[in-house]
Amino acid sequence: MIPQAAPPLRIARFRNEIDAAVARVLSGSSYILGEAVDAFETAFAAAAGAKFCIGVASGTDALALALRALEIGPGDEVLLPSMTFAGTAQAILHCGASPIFVEVDPVTRCIDPAATEFAIGPRTAAIVPVHLFGHPADMPALMALAAKHRLAVVEDCAQSHGATLDGKALGSFGHAAAYSFYPTKNLGGVGDGGAVVTADPGLATRLRSLRHYGFAPGERVSGQVGFNSRLDEIQAAILLALLPHLGEGNLARRASAARYRTLLADTDVGLPPEGEGSVYHQFAVTVSDREGLRHRLEAAGIGTAVHYAPGLHRHPAFTEGARTPLPVTDALADSLLSLPIQPEVTTGYEERVAAAIRECLRCAA
């Protein structure tokens, strides 16, 4: 079996470093917001091209707290793509604002700047671009829009750890960026975790307070409504051990994507966008008979996944945010198929996957 994603392989590969990191926490004396969280925040801020990093409990919380810290709340509308994971929209609702769905670009599969401008109305307060599958959204165009209309921008970097656009780190374009360390992510822990990065010291201070009951630094008095949303000390220790390996993992993902491109050229499979700074969180192709191909690949021992169907504008919890038809999103939701991508495996699984796809397409023809 070739699984679609294989976090256990990463854990097994770096097991000694992980065991040592966990042991250090267990032999220490602080279990919440201790040395490991501090050290990880410093290291991750540097890796993400940011001044400040605030570790929180999940990627969803990272988005919600970043929006709150930017004073987005009830009465505000936040623009986001519908082609993303549900957590992006949940976070907007958690801070009391309304998610409004915008069409994606058919090539990048990320929020379309022209459609974004069209969707801006009197209540629009923020944009949450998602760097879907590790490919950059058009940040220069979106930041220009945000400046023109005085909107906050929180980049959803849950799938883009280590990615760049024109040599600049994704996550350093917006006012803040949110990361998830869910186990399957390019930098994934052994449980839930997330972080906000920002260059703004005031925002960083508000975020540190929001994640910790609304306390001011060094005090135990709630100055505002806050949460218990802290990155766990053990997860931080594990992530700190894995962070130095993020770059090599991303290189392996790029190499894998390049192999798939060559192997699937001249087929009917639609290939993902190319981008120098993409980190291929997923290698998601488009195919016409997705369910048929999925079943045939499964029978051949090849795992695949669907990200994401249906688009969020069709989820019962979010339908109020569906203002316009989203035909590109709907077409992608019907045809995207994520192939196995495993930076830990270097033994040419792409050849087996591509051969099986070619065989399936031949049989179906």
Ligand X SMILES: Cc1ncc(COP(=O)(O)O)c(C=O)c1O
List contacts with ligand X (CB under 6 A). Answer: 58-60, 84-85, 87-88, 130, 156, 158-159, 180, 182, 192, 194
Tell me if 138 sits within 8 A of 108, measured CB to CB: yes
Closest by CA to 338, choosing from 244, 265, 219, 253, is 253
Shortest approach of ligand X to residue 335 CB, angstroms?
19
CA dihedral 288, 293, 294, 298 (to 10 degrees): -170
User: Which residue, 108 or 263, is less far from ligand X as judged by CB?
Assistant: 108
Tell me if 210 sits within 8 A of 65, measured CB to CB: yes
CA neighbours within 13 Å on the CB side: how many for 18? 16
In this chain, which residue has its C-beta nearest to ligand X? 59
Tell me if 181 sits within 8 A of 207, measured CB to CB: no
What does the alpha-carbon distance between residue 353 and residue 349 come to, in Å, rounded to a whole number?
Answer: 6
The H or E element spanning position 308 is none
Type of residue found at 46: A
Type of residue found at 277: G
User: What number of residues does the chain have?
Assistant: 365
User: Which residue, 59 or 136, is less far from ligand X as judged by CB?
Assistant: 59
User: Which residue, 108 or 269, is less far from ligand X as judged by CB?
Assistant: 108
Shortest approach of ligand X to residue 300 CB, angstroms?
27
Shortest approach of ligand X to residue 238 CB, angstroms?
15
Shortest approach of ligand X to residue 128 CB, angstroms?
9
User: Which residue, 158 or 264, is less far from ligand X as judged by CB?
Assistant: 158
Shortest approach of ligand X to residue 216 CB, angstroms?
27
User: Which residue, 132 or 252, is less far from ligand X as judged by CB?
Assistant: 132
Estimate to the nearest angstrom the gap between the alpha carbon of 211 and the chain centroid.
Answer: 20
Closest by CA to 340, choosing from 288, 293, 282, 299, is 282
Helix (H, G, I), strand (E, B) or coil at 254: helix
User: Which residue, 133 or 349, is less far from ligand X as judged by CB?
Assistant: 133
Shortest approach of ligand X to residue 235 CB, angstroms?
11
User: Which residue, 58 or 278, is less far from ligand X as judged by CB?
Assistant: 58
Shortest approach of ligand X to residue 292 CB, angstroms?
26
Residue 126 per-residue DSSP state = E
